[in-house]
Structure 1
Amino acid sequence: MIQIKVDGATREQYVRNIVRTWREATPEQEAQGRVWYTNAHDLADMMTDGDVRMGAGLLAALSPQTSWPLNVELATNAYETGQPSGHLGDALAKAAKILAGADPTEVLPMDRKTGHFYRCIVDPADADAVCIDRHAHDIAVGEEYGARDRGLGAKGRYALIAHCYREAAQRLGELPSVVQAVTWVVWRDSLAGTSTRGTRFVTAA
């Protein structure tokens, strides 16, 4: 795991890694990333008959360790049946509370991944929210961690990476969530071997 307290040079390298990945995006990858949260917002609204906060909350609560298609399936089934299933107990408990009418901001950890994921979906124009998942982490630190623990459950480590995305977004004149989504698409495609450009990542010394 990376250190939570890092020097300015290391922090700057993380920002540069994010910016570099953004600039590696093909037009198609950029277009896909730009609309990711807008599409997710529309999906959350549609699958809950107009209750976008509930939809975003269910998607966020059931997102840990799931692919996006499975995430959507679990959230949709939870809303349609009134009974969350197919996930671990903690995620199911959070989803059940949201289904029962609880405010997602009082159920989800708003300073961690699922809380920020909720914010990005419920309001794609949120100028502060940024979802730091395993791919976002690896982009920033410049290394594919694979199955290794990234330690993003630690508030300080999450905040460090989120800050780097906000700094990169400011330099690029973009929303942090847009920068995260576009770079996520680039990284995903590079892992799948489908990227048409050879993204180069640099790890801070």
Structure 2
Amino acid sequence: MPIPTSVSRATRDRYVRNVVEVWESADFDQESRGRNWYRTANQLATMISDGNTAAGAGVIAALSANKRWTENVKLATRAFENGEPSGSFGDALRKAARIMAGEDPELVLPMDSKTGHFYRCILDPTDAEAICIDRHAHDIAVGERYGNRDRGLSSKARYALLADVYKRAAKRINVIPQELQAVTWVVWIERKVSE
């Protein structure tokens, strides 16, 4: 069954409610860690790249596809330590290598997808237009863990639909979308571990 790239207003509203409900279920510690998540990632990007935050954020984003955060950090750190990326698939490695060679991450990464938005969130933790819609953000919105099923996030329309859901939910809560996404991500990941 194809993944919808547009939904009814009622479905969109349900997606927004799902995101808000996960936000509201965060305890104090989860909310604090989520609100600081991209600031911490920004500091990490600066540290692993000897002060070149854009390069650090670009390499982290390039190597992030289908990786747990801890693995993503190890791969990016090792890339800068060794002078070349490893441990991922070819396209991600090529993009990371180009960034490490000095190319602008915005010219290397697909800026209208998860990877580009993830880069922007790490580069500028206050960027209210950068919304990282990964598999977890998708599952939070639709209210279901998809496992290995296709979420349709390679579709620009599907990505835009979910980014709009997070913008609407963030406006309701009065936070920037990337903080909302990070807090809900922390809650969602920790729920999965405890299940």
Normalising by structure 2, report the TM-score.
0.97
- Residue 203 of structure 1 aligns with which residue? none
Structure number having the greater helix percentage: 2
- Residue 176 of structure 1 aligns with which residue? 177
Deviations 1:149-202, CA, capped at 9 Å, x for gaps: 1111111111110110011001111010000000111111111117xxxxxxxx
- Residue 134 of structure 2 aligns with which residue? 133
Q: Which amino acid aligns with 1:145?
A: Y
| 1:50-199 map, 5 Å | 50-193=51-194
- What runs of 5+ residues in structure 2 fail to find an aligned partner? none
Deviations 1:134-154, CA, capped at 9 Å, x for gaps: 110000001111111111111
- Residue 4 of structure 1 aligns with which residue? 5
Work out the CA distance in 2 between the residues paired with 1:82 and 1:49.
Answer: 12
Aligned-pair identity (%): 58
> 4+ residue runs of structure 1 moved beyond 6 angstroms?
none
1:44 counterpart = 2:63: no
Work out the CA distance in 2 between the residues paired with 1:74 and 1:117.
Answer: 16
Q: Which amino acid aligns with 1:69?
A: T
- Residue 23 of structure 2 aligns with which residue? 22
Q: Which amino acid aligns with 1:155?
A: K
- What runs of 5+ residues in structure 1 fail to find an aligned partner? 195-205
Work out the CA distance in 2 between the residues paired with 1:78 and 1:188.
Answer: 26
Work out the CA distance in 1 between the residues paired with 2:60 and 2:170.
Answer: 25
Normalising by structure 1, report the TM-score.
0.92
